[in-house]
Structure 1
Amino acid sequence: MAVVLILVLLVVGSVVFHLVSPWWWTPIASNWGYIDSTLVITFWITGIVFVAVVSFMAYCVMRFRHRPGNVAAYEPENRRLEWILAGGTAVGVAAMLAPGLVVWHQFVTVPNEATPVEVVSQQWLWSFRLPGADGKLGHAATSEISAENSLGVSKSDSSGLDDVVVEGGELHLPVGKPVRVLLRSIDVLHDFYVPEFRAKMDMIPGMVTYFWFTPTRTGTFDILCAEMCGVGHSQMRGTVVVDTEEDYQAWLAQQQTFEQLQVASQEQAAN
């Protein structure tokens, strides 16, 4: 009986804790409410299965507990029961996977009007590159990285000369405008994650990964690394500031382009 009581309390306690828990997602700040909906569907499906399985265990412990004179009946297989269990499991898994696949398709289908923004990770720092007046990001490669060119922007690509480079500072974005986030790592695996945006993606050396989102409210949000990247992993923090269009343009006007940084570097070396 003690086991039955424990199982019942486990079910009741888990459901109550989920319903009244003060810990929930941070208020969303992007268009990806679909991801929240997908997680809620997953919680409902797994929650119902959890309650059903543990409750059935409690019933079986109570119903088939040892009593003098009772003899267990041996049944090697039950095809009807096997089909029910296999079919139910298949339906449940499909119900969890289908919304995720739909959202994933949306997640990687970037609108044509999205502005490209590059995020570059390294132990243990976030840097950023935004397109200049031409609206295009120049080519960049790890082989181009040097003390004067920490992001590896190609000097031979004229499209990159007016790129805005932010090394280790804040990334500012305008509210209400879609952004295509291009992710590049120059050393080990990292993961760009802003909880309020509900968007994250691994950053793999030698590859450029991406996703897109639209900031829906102004504010300051923390960037976290969601991939164990070394001893400084927990301190690898950054900041995204979502501005009004006016504030964003004012911030952008204060930033230096790749060409300006190169000129300043050459002047410093000459002196």
Structure 2
Amino acid sequence: MAVALILVVVALGSVLFHLVSPWWWTPIASNWRFIDDTIIITFWITGLVFVAVVLFMAYCIYRFRHEKGRTAAYEPENKRLEWWLTGVTGVGVAAMLAPGLFVWNQFITVPEDATDIEVVGQQWQWSYRLPGADGKLGMADTRNVSADNPLGLKRDDPNGQDDIIIEGGELRLPVGKPVKALLRSIDVLHNFYVPEFRAKMDMVPGQVSYFWLTPTRTGTFEILCAELCGVGHPHMRGTVMVQTEQEYLAWMQEQSERTFARLSAPD
């Protein structure tokens, strides 16, 4: 009886903890409210299953508790029960997967008017590359990385000459404008994550991953690395500032000295 009561308390306590818990996600700052909706759907499905299983265990412990003279019935198979469990489990899994597949399709379908930017991860800092006046990013290759070319841009690519290089600084984005973030690592696995954006993606050496988002409100938000990348992993942080379009354009004009052509020019 005591064990059954403990299980009931665990189930009810878990629900109560969720309702009054102060640990909840941060306010959203992008268009990816669909991510929140998918998490909520998954939470309720798994939460209901958890409560049902725990309460069922409590019922079984109480209902079939040991009593003198009672003999247990041996029933190794029950096809009806197995069909029910298989069907309910299948419906639950499908209900969790379907929203995720829908959101994933949106997550990788980039709007045509999105602006390309590049985020480069390396132990243990973030660097960024923004398109210059031509609106295009030049080509890059990790094999080109050197002391005077830390992001590995191809020197003979005309599209990269006016690219703005921000090494270990602050990323700035205009509010209300879709952005395609090209993600690249030049050493080990990293993961670019801004909690308020609800967008994150692994950065794998040797390949370029991406996601897109539209910032929906101005402010300064913290960038985290969500992939263990070495002893300095906890300190691999940065900031992204979302500004009005006028503020962003004014800031971009101030970055004329940070183009790849200027930074790589011989002294």
TM-score normalised by the chain length of structure 2: 0.98
Task: Percent identity, please.
Answer: 71
Query: Gaps (5+ residues) in structure 2?
Result: none
Q: Which residue of 2 aligns with 1:261?
A: 263
Alignment of 1:117-266 (within 5 A): 117-255=117-255, 256-263=258-265, 266=266
Q: Which residue of 2 aligns with 1:64?
A: 64
- Following TM superposition, by how much is the alpha carbon of 1:76 offset from its aligned partner in structure 2, in angstroms? 1.8
For 1:258, the aligned partner's letter is F
Cα separation, 1, equivalents of 2:215 and 2:167: 22
- Following TM superposition, by how much is the alpha carbon of 1:2 offset from its aligned partner in structure 2, in angstroms? 1.1
For 2:259, the aligned partner's letter is T
- Following TM superposition, by how much is the alpha carbon of 1:23 offset from its aligned partner in structure 2, in angstroms? 1.1
Cα separation, 2, equivalents of 1:127 and 1:254: 18
Q: Which residue of 2 aligns with 1:23?
A: 23
- Following TM superposition, by how much is the alpha carbon of 1:254 offset from its aligned partner in structure 2, in angstroms? 1.5
The runs of 4+ residues in structure 1 deviating greater than 3 Å are none
Q: Tell me how many residue pairs correspond in the alignment.
A: 265
- Following TM superposition, by how much is the alpha carbon of 1:250 offset from its aligned partner in structure 2, in angstroms? 1.4
2:210 aligns to what SS in structure 1?
A: strand
For 1:210, the aligned partner's letter is Y
- Following TM superposition, by how much is the alpha carbon of 1:5 offset from its aligned partner in structure 2, in angstroms? 1.1
Query: Gaps (5+ residues) in structure 1?
Result: none
Alignment of 1:45-60 (within 5 A): 45-60=45-60
- Following TM superposition, by how much is the alpha carbon of 1:91 offset from its aligned partner in structure 2, in angstroms? 0.5
Cα separation, 1, equivalents of 2:150 and 2:76: 67
- Following TM superposition, by how much is the alpha carbon of 1:101 offset from its aligned partner in structure 2, in angstroms? 0.6
Cα separation, 2, equivalents of 1:44 and 1:188: 36
For 2:218, the aligned partner's letter is T
Cα separation, 1, equivalents of 2:98 and 2:177: 28
CA RMSD of aligned residues (A): 0.6
Cα separation, 2, equivalents of 1:104 and 1:224: 21
Cα separation, 1, equivalents of 2:100 and 2:242: 27
Cα separation, 2, equivalents of 1:236 and 1:94: 37
Cα separation, 2, equivalents of 1:23 and 1:142: 40
- Following TM superposition, by how much is the alpha carbon of 1:98 offset from its aligned partner in structure 2, in angstroms? 0.6
For 1:177, the aligned partner's letter is K
Q: Which residue of 2 aligns with 1:114?
A: 114
Cα separation, 2, equivalents of 1:166 and 1:252: 11
TM-score normalised by the chain length of structure 1: 0.97
Deviations 1:168-191 (A, max 9, x none): 100000000000000000000000
Cα separation, 1, equivalents of 2:155 and 2:122: 21
Q: Which residue of 1 aligns with 2:8?
A: 8
Cα separation, 1, equivalents of 2:3 and 2:250: 65
